Each structure stands twice: as structure tokens, then as C-alpha cells.
Structure 1
Amino acid sequence: MSPQPRRTTTDGLESRTRTTGHFSDTESSLASVSTNQSQAARKEHKITRLLSYLGSNNPLPAEIAADDVVWLMDNTAFRDAKGAWQAEFVAAAFDKQPSARVLDIVGEIAHKVGLSKGAKEEETIERRIGPFVMEVLPGRRIRVNFGRRTQLKLGPGGRNGISSDLVKLPDLRGGSVVRSTADVPIEVTGLLGMKTLFAEPEGWAVISDIDDTIKVTQTSDPVGILRSTFVSEPTPIDGMPELYGQIRELVTPSAPFFYLSASPYNLYPFLRSFRDAYYPHGQLILRDASWMTVSGLLSSLTLGTEKYKVDRIRKIHGWLPRRKLICIGDSTQSDPEAYGDAYRAFPGWIKLILIRKVTDIAAIGIREKNEPERFEKAFAGVPR
């Protein structure tokens, strides 16, 4: 008998939120492009496809070609047990040719958010839908120029096109920021530059949620999520850019910020631009479970968020166990439970937890998310 998945303390809240918001109905009616791999599959060699199932153990990775898209994602370097620097490098590769169903998907999203056919907002939807309709390229190796003197080889990526490599780095001063660029054919597009912050073992650090903590997302309403992601101008929560600016001054500019979200990696370019416009620089940590599906955006934000966030917080603790942590979240998702779990799992590590209590009950959908009993249970054993 296979083991049952662990139920988290927010499973009931998530289930009731999804039922109240009719998430399943919306998801089932949205197009999934994950099975529409005609263009990329045709150009991929059979051996490349087969070996990509081996992930990083692939002995024959494919190189990036001129008609590919590459993303490099900002990261944070930390010292290992011997004092040497290392960092996790995450990169992704796509086929530049989008899915043939782009116009269909644009039309479906426009209809869901109440736009009339041919509305000017469809241009915004088509532009933002790009990362959801570019087909992933498994088994790719990406060469990166780290600073001026070091070249890294990232990958090969697995079936989802994402590679994740723990890389040893040159010895630099803590607080340094190194810029890297993809060493690829000149025709390649995407996010070809990234930054690495070198964070010493001690000092302060910040872990922040994104959706409805620092950015208006409406995570309890499927139509609201689609509108805020694909149509509306990304909007910061009132007062939060100022608060984060003050926090950055208090913890010093060299303190690492981690923006931890249940949003899928498809939104990385969108959220990176939003971060750069309003908040201190920091590493975006997103979810790759629903890659290549628009409906997966909704499930990412409403299913298994507590377990996912605790797992990623555990990884950050492994990198910086001696830092003093400030954790910031909101009441619409599982932030209270995830931060409470992390506080109890790593005694003394988290020094301050801030929860934005979202008071627009209509946007939340379930009043109990703001009830005192919820917070008392989530923060059992956590000093006030």
C-alpha cells in the first residue's frame, strides 16, 4: 500500500477556498498547453528526448541553439561547512516558437475576465502569456560567464527544461554582487543576465511572500488571479514598498532577501520586473510543479502551499542557518502555518514574523482566515 500524502494544517482552508471560488470549474475550462509539444518535439532529436529523462546525469546534453530562449535566475551564494562559497544556479531553456494555440488561450482568458472580443487588453494578455506557451527544451546545457574570469556549465535540464546546479564559486568578499551573462549565440533571447549576492553566514535575512503580501494578486478568486496576472498593471500593496525600504536600511543592503511564492516559474520575468520596480533586490523562489499550463497557475497558488513553502524555507535554513530571519506574509494563503512550522522546526532562527491581515473579506472568500483561532493555532509555541 502506498503511503498517503501528509495533510497540512491548511488543507481544509485550501479546500474550502477552492470550493467557494469555483477553482476547479475555472481550471477545467482553461486550455492546457502541456500536451501540445508539436513544434519542439519535431526539432528535438530522439536521443536528446530520451536522455533528458536522466536530468543532470544526462551524458550527452544538447547545446543552446540560435532560436532558443534562455532564462538565468538571480541567486544567493553562501559558505559551506569548510568556508568555501557555493550557490544554487537555476536556469531554463525554451523553444522560441510559441504554441500554435496562443490566440485560443488569449481568447479564453479574455472571456474569463469579462473582456469583449477584440478588446485592446488582449494585446497585454498575449504578451504576458508568452512564458506559458513557449515549449520547454529538456536536456539543454547552458554556458554562463560568471563575472569576468569564470565560466560555468549549467545543466543539463530535466524534462521540465529547468536545471538546478550547486556550484562552487571563487572566494569573494561577503556582500559582493557578481553579474553573470549567458554565453549563447547572439540570436538567443530571454533573461540572459543574473546577479549573485554573496551572503556571509551571520547577520539578518528576510523571507517574504509575494502574492497579496507585497503584490495585489487576489489569490482566493480564480478570475482575480487571471486578471491581476494577465491584464492589470502589477500593483504593490499600499505601504509595503516603503516598509521594505525601511527594513532594508535596518538590516543593511548586503542582507539577503528571499521572495518565496507559490506562483509557478512561468511568472519569473513578470515578478522580477515587479520586484525591481518596487522592492529591494532579492532571490525569487518560485514553483515548477505546473510548468506550461495556464490552469496550473491557479492550482499552484491554492494547493499544497504550506508544505511547499516549508520545504523551501528548510532549504534557505540549510544555506544560512546562523542568520537572523524576518518572515513576512499574509492571511490569504498558508503563510501563518508555514512560518509557524519553520519557527518550531528551527528554534532560535526566526526572530520576527509579520503577517499582513487582509481585511477585504470579499476578496478572501472565507472569513475564518482572519479569525484569531487560526493564528493561535498556527503560532502555537511561538512567543507573541
Structure 2
Amino acid sequence: MNFINEIVSQGRRIIVDTFSGGGIERDAPFSPEIPEDLRQWLPDLFDRFPIVFPWQKPVPVDPALHNVWIFDNTAFRTPRQGDERPDLEEVKDPKVSKPTLLDGPETAVGPAMRPSGWEVEFVACYFIKNSGKDESKVVAGIAHALNIRDDDLATHKRIAKRVQPFIDTVLPSRTLRITMDGKEEQTLGPSSYSGISTGNHELHFDPPVPGEFKSTPVNLPPPFSIPSRTILAEETGWGIISDIDDTIKITMTPDPLGILNSTFIVEEPDPVPGMPELYARITATLNSPPFFYLSASPYNLYPFLKQFREKYFPPGTIILRDASWQNLGGLITSLTNNTEEYKTSRLRKIHSWLPRRKFICIGDSTQSDPEAYGNAARKFPGWIRAIYIRKVEGIAAMDEKTKNSQERFEKAFEGVDRNIWFVFSEPRELDRRVEELAREGDAVVGGRVTYLGRMSK
């Protein structure tokens, strides 16, 4: 029987790879390859990809069968005529999103609807409820890797809950109708082979400025959906781009076992000491800037990270990585492979949304935050006004001598004003710097910009 099951499994794998493999690869250009050594000791997750034929047309999500997450996001002003933003993705065709106003005199779809001058990128994920196969096998694999005893039922239960989003079958070619602030409906999708839909949508109602609003799936109430929270960000002011793992959350990224432990085993993830207080001070000092949490973690961790952020840190957009891999080793390689390229591309996207804001970038030394932030500072002069890198120490698997070396930081920030970037060990070291940024801003004097009280051409 096991032999027959294996034949069936291999046959299904060939079919999925034939019809979906290319699409998965194209839709996830930054999805990392999983080294063979990780594949050998971490469980496969192959069954989360369904068979999808190229000729299948998109269909709506079924409230009785599916789960949906809509990520929190940040709305930005639509570019005006002459405002060139080459990295900004085009707004979805209104014939696809089918906007409909729910109140007011204009309720028809079409040119009669007045754009409000705001747009927002909606990211949504689609799954079949409780569809993950071989859950016990995956849980056992993680427990074995971390030496969790078989009779530790509480830990096994916790692993099972957190692993569910990694093994549930994703839903390609799906659409979702949502209500924005109870005033407008639009359609998201169709989703990619990874079960993710991403696209910019213009708003046709006047949103609360300053303020925020919620978007919820039509006919899909909690717990089968996670609604989104949209924060309105005007064109000017401050903004914060922050890494998550080992910058504000203890993950132990250089250590594969540390990643698994901090993701599946600990009862609650721990914040890096002093960082919640620092972010609260930044919020107060810089007049509640929009926060973007840019992480290389896979999107399957969104509910886990959202709960962590809500407990310790200011609200904001969590930007996560695609997860088109078929083995749990992808979790580890997502956080460690090609992160510079991935983060650099997402920084370009944030710049396309808010090119006139002044940004502070906060990261750490475990992976490629210095290099990615340095790339953005060189590409968009004057956009990034400060870069703060937390020097991570005390992780056995980390090459601290290389990662924390002055030579590494000098190379990463080559060509970047030395007054902009700073490496810190304790969050309190940044208090004075943030206060100076708030006090001095971007005062232009004689064609030059002031950074931290010093002049730079």
C-alpha cells in the first residue's frame, strides 16, 4: 500500500510541476532554492500546491470552503500629471476590480465614478480550510529536529497550530470581493500559483485623512478571514522602514534550529529588549509616521507576525516574501538566501508609493540589511535620512567577526553620507539621533541638505 501511495504521490508531483511549476517560478522570482541538506531533515510540503490547468478561468473564493487573509497596508496619493514614478505598478483595470460605491449618488461602475486621488496595494492570501495533509508528519519532523519529547503534548499542539498555514492547500486563480470602509466594493485577484493576489487599487470615496479604515471580505466573516487595516499616508513627513527578525523580534536567523524554535516552539515570540520603547519614542517624536515592516519571512507567518506587532510595536504594513517552495527548509532559506535582492526590490516599491517622505531605515547585522539599505540610499539620494543597524551578538552560528566588522559596514554604505548611517548595540543610543532628526528635518540651505546638523552637498 505504501508503494502504491508513493507512486500516486510521484505521479501527482509530476502533474503539478508540469502545469504549475513554471508559473510558480515566474510569480516568485525571489523565492529561494532549498539546499539538499535542509531537504534531508525537514518535511516536505508538496501537497499545498493544487493541480491548476492553464486554461482554467479565475473564480471567486467560496466562503464555505476557504480561508482568506488581507494584509494591512498603507494608502498613498495617486501621482499627478508629470509625477513620474517608473517603479509604481499600474492601477488595476477597473473592469477587473469592478469598483462599486455603496453610498452616495454615484453607485454605477464606470467613468461616472470619481477617483479620490488615493490608491493602495492590496495583498491577499487564499487557502482551503484545514486542508493540510500529513500534519502529524510535519509536526513530528519539527519536534524531532528540536528534540521535543513525544509526551510534550502542549508543544506538539502549538507546533500544529503554527504549521497549519504552511501545509494548507493554496488557491491559485481565485478572486475576492471586499468592502472598503463600508463605502466601496472592489474585487481582488486573480491569485498567483502561490495563492497570493497583489495589485494597486484606486479609491473612489473620500477616506479619512489623517486616519485609517478597514477592508473586509464580502460574505466571509472571521475566523475564516483576516481583514485589513489601511493607514492613510500623505506625501510628506517622516516614514519608518524596519526589519523584523533580530531587529525587533528575537529569531536567531543565523541558526536554523534557532529559526525553528523561535517560530514553532516558543509560547510567544520575544521582542528585542528596548526596541518596543524605542519605536514608541519614534512614534511620539516624529508625529506618528507610517511604519513598513520589511521582512524576508514567508507570508505563511503573517498572522503570527501581525499578532506580535500588535502587541509590541506601532501599526503598519508588513511586507513578506513569497513562499513557493515544497519543503519546510524554505522557511530557513527565505530568511538567509538572496535577501539583499529581495529587500532592495521592496524598497523601490515603497519609494514609488511615498517618494517625497523622509525615511529612517532600521535593521540588523545578521543578514543583508546594511547592503539593501545602502543600495536604496545610493539609488534615491535624499530619500533615506538615517540608517540604523543593530549589531547582533551572542549567536553561536553567526560569523560575528565578519558580520559585525567595520569593513563590512564601510563597504555596504560606500558613497553614502557617513552622518546618515550608525551601528548600535543598545536602542537608547538612538534617542538623541531621532530627536535631532525631528528638530532639524531636511532644512535646505544654499542648495544643500542638513543631516543631523551637518552640511552635505
Q: What is the TM-score normalised by the length of structure 1?
A: 0.86
Q: Which residue of 2 aligns with 1:4?
A: none
Alignment map for 1:78-89 (pairs within 5 Å):
78-82=76-80, 84-89=117-122
Match of 1:248 among 283, 296, 302: 283
What per-residue deviation string (whole Å, max 9, x for no partner) do you get for residues 134-175 of structure 1? Answer: 110111111111012111111111211111121001233432
Answering whether residue 42 of structure 2 is matched by residue 30 of structure 1, we say yes
SS in 2 for 1:115: coil
Distance in structure 2 (CA, Å) of the matches to 1:149 and 1:128: 34
- Per-residue deviation, 1:116: 1.6
Cα distance 1:380–1:256, how it changes in 2: closer, same or farther (>3 A)?
same
- Per-residue deviation, 1:34: 2.6
Answering whether residue 219 of structure 2 is matched by residue 181 of structure 1, we say no
Cα distance 1:294–1:260, how it changes in 2: closer, same or farther (>3 A)?
same
Cα distance 1:151–1:103, how it changes in 2: closer, same or farther (>3 A)?
same
Alignment map for 1:91-110 (pairs within 5 Å):
91-110=124-143
Q: Which residue of 2 aligns with 1:55?
A: none
Q: Which residue of 2 aligns with 1:266?
A: 300
What per-residue deviation string (whole Å, max 9, x for no partner) do you get for residues 232-266 of structure 1? Answer: 1200000000000000111212x210000000000
Could you tell me which amino acid in structure 1 is paired with residue 207 of structure 2? L
Could you tell me which amino acid in structure 1 is paired with residue 336 of structure 2? T
Distance in structure 1 (CA, Å) of the matches to 2:59 and 2:175: 6
Could you tell me which amino acid in structure 2 is paired with residue 335 of structure 1? D
SS in 2 for 1:136: coil
Answering whether residue 349 of structure 2 is matched by residue 315 of structure 1, we say yes
Unaligned runs of at least 5 residues, structure 2? 1-31, 81-115, 419-457
What per-residue deviation string (whole Å, max 9, x for no partner) do you get for residues 282-325 of structure 1? Answer: 00000004456421101100110000000000000000000000
- Per-residue deviation, 1:229: 0.3
Distance in structure 1 (CA, Å) of the matches to 2:164 and 2:395: 33
- Per-residue deviation, 1:364: 1.9
Could you tell me which amino acid in structure 1 is paired with residue 37 of structure 2? D
Cα distance 1:51–1:72, how it changes in 2: closer, same or farther (>3 A)?
farther
Could you tell me which amino acid in structure 2 is paired with residue 156 of structure 1? P
Answering whether residue 247 of structure 2 is matched by residue 217 of structure 1, we say no
Cα distance 1:172–1:36, how it changes in 2: closer, same or farther (>3 A)?
closer
Q: Which residue of 1 aligns with 2:404?
A: 370
Cα distance 1:374–1:78, how it changes in 2: closer, same or farther (>3 A)?
same
Could you tell me which amino acid in structure 2 is paired with residue 62 of structure 1? P
SS in 2 for 1:238: coil
Deviates more, 1:307-316 or 1:28-37: 28-37
Count of matched residue positions in the alignment of Structure 1 and Structure 2: 349
SS in 1 for 2:54: helix
Match of 2:62 among 42, 61, 64: 64
- Which stretches of structure 1, 4 residues or more, deviate above 6 A after TM superposition? none
Could you tell me which amino acid in structure 2 is paired with residue 71 of structure 1? W
Answering whether residue 156 of structure 2 is matched by residue 122 of structure 1, we say yes
Could you tell me which amino acid in structure 2 is paired with residue 180 of structure 1? S
Q: Which residue of 2 aligns with 1:192?
A: 226
SS in 2 for 1:26: helix
Distance in structure 2 (CA, Å) of the matches to 1:132 and 1:33: 7
Q: Is the 8 A contact 2:174 2:190 kept in 1?
A: yes
Q: Is the 8 A contact 1:160 1:291 kept in 2?
A: no
CA RMSD of aligned residues (A): 2.1
- Per-residue deviation, 1:61: 2.4
Q: Is the 8 A contact 2:254 2:395 kept in 1?
A: no
Identity %: 47
Answering whether residue 54 of structure 2 is matched by residue 50 of structure 1, we say yes
SS in 2 for 1:98: coil
What per-residue deviation string (whole Å, max 9, x for no partner) do you get for residues 327-349 of structure 1? Answer: 00000010010111110000000
Match of 2:270 among 230, 235, 254: 235
SS in 2 for 1:97: coil
SS in 1 for 2:121: strand
Q: Which residue of 2 aligns with 1:11?
A: none
Q: Which residue of 2 aligns with 1:5?
A: none
Distance in structure 1 (CA, Å) of the matches to 2:269 and 2:72: 20
- Per-residue deviation, 1:202: 0.4
Q: What is the TM-score normalised by the length of structure 2?
A: 0.73
- Per-residue deviation, 1:212: 0.3
Could you tell me which amino acid in structure 2 is paired with residue 171 of structure 1? D
Unaligned runs of at least 5 residues, structure 1? 1-13, 53-57
Deviates more, 1:138-147 or 1:267-276: 138-147
Distance in structure 1 (CA, Å) of the matches to 2:402 and 2:226: 44
Distance in structure 1 (CA, Å) of the matches to 2:47 and 2:41: 15
Distance in structure 2 (CA, Å) of the matches to 1:303 and 1:334: 9
Match of 1:276 among 310, 313, 319: 310
Q: Is the 8 A contact 1:258 1:283 kept in 2?
A: yes
Cα distance 1:312–1:238, how it changes in 2: closer, same or farther (>3 A)?
same
Q: Which residue of 1 aligns with 2:392?
A: 358
Q: Is the 8 A contact 1:208 1:260 kept in 2?
A: yes
